[in-house]
Structure 1
Amino acid sequence: MREAERVHGAEEPILVPDGVSLGYCRVSSSDQSLEGQRRLLFEAGCYEVYADVGKSGATMKRPELEACLRALQPGNTLVVWKLDRLGRSVRGLVELLHQLQERDVQFRSLTEGIDTTTTQGMMMFTIVASVAEMERNLIVERTRAGLAATSGRGGRPPRLQEHDIEEARRLRYSEKWKLDSIAAKLKVSRSTIVRAVRSDGDSGVGYGGSKKPSHPQELPGGQSAQKTAGRGAGQSR
């Protein structure tokens, strides 16, 4: 039996026998009851249960949790009713579980079925760790993308480079290629080609300026606006 460390602000820790389980439970407000969690933890074989009352999962200062963690010794097991009783951040949970492993302390969560003393429990722990790793990577990627967009020095590169835009305009105006054919050659969408060839102001009225188009405006299906207008005028007569 080892004597646990004393934590300032918490009750004096108990003497913890070798190989026992210690439970931890928490409620966010003082008007909530701990009895349900306590009962389940004692039924799971906990030697003692630590409890924080009126402490949010996002709050780092939880004296009873700190006392419980310091009382745990190699060979002991920390048991909780549910993972979110320890905290709301997956990353924080995984870091805590890694710390317990380094101290040779096992972990059980009754609701999620995580039990690091079993092969299945270790598999669940690995899954949670993988999710946390993915969460960290996504946060890093979003942060970098946000900084790049704010600074104006990066972000997602354009679909067409400058030489591609020049080639698209040459094919359109000099070679008289259809928009769909240019899009297929450069392996982009038709709308991307439309934006590329119009970005210099050579557009119809209402897009990029008031100049009239120097060529028939192509409609879906390869038809031109002039031909369509001519047929419409003939039919109106």
Structure 2
Amino acid sequence: MTTISFDIVGFDLDGTFIDTSGDLTDAVNHALADAGRPLLTREQVIPMIGGGARHMLRQGMEATGGCDEAELNRLHRLLLDYYEANIAVHSRPFPGAMAALDQLDTDGVKVAIVTNKLEGLALRLLDELDLTRRFGCVIGGDTLGPGKSKPNRAPIDAMIERCGGGRAAFVGDSHFDIDAARNAEIPSIACSFGFMMQPVAELGADAVIDHFDELIPTLARLAP
């Protein structure tokens, strides 16, 4: 039996716990189509995910003809409205994610979501998938106010506080996640199956997993 001595394990949402790439690609393309721009493939959109919807759309616009702030504002609203209405058409937890969650629950470890997705959208997605009740707290990119999303340590600190304090680790797939964990001085685990902006080895995480089956043993190895 694997023993975990962490009290809290936090997860990024998009590209870490849930594969949202299909629905996010559809939302980006809905906005781009309205502007008469070429559409992007899922493979093109994946590296744009992680910094929130506006960041993702800005990169999509830059890849299809340039980004004007006024048009970005207009298309951002279109993207959000479309995405909210179609948030869980394709999105599902990554293989092994639910089993890992079940094991953490059995071991008495509290779990949380810390994402740069808007809190309302994160909760809507989790509600659609009947997952909200599984997490001790859900912290979005706008939960703590401007300038306090990942890689700022503030959302990690808030996660620990809202989950009652204790030893924590964080699981993510981007530099936003790993840098936030590092800034908060807690161990980090990178998911190689996530929405990579760069090679996973370049993230500087304390450990890397290739499948959620590896999460529990990895947490055991990282335990203080």
TM-score, normalized by length of structure 1?
A: 0.26
Higher relative contact order (CA 8 A, sep 6+): 2
TM-score, normalized by length of structure 2?
A: 0.27
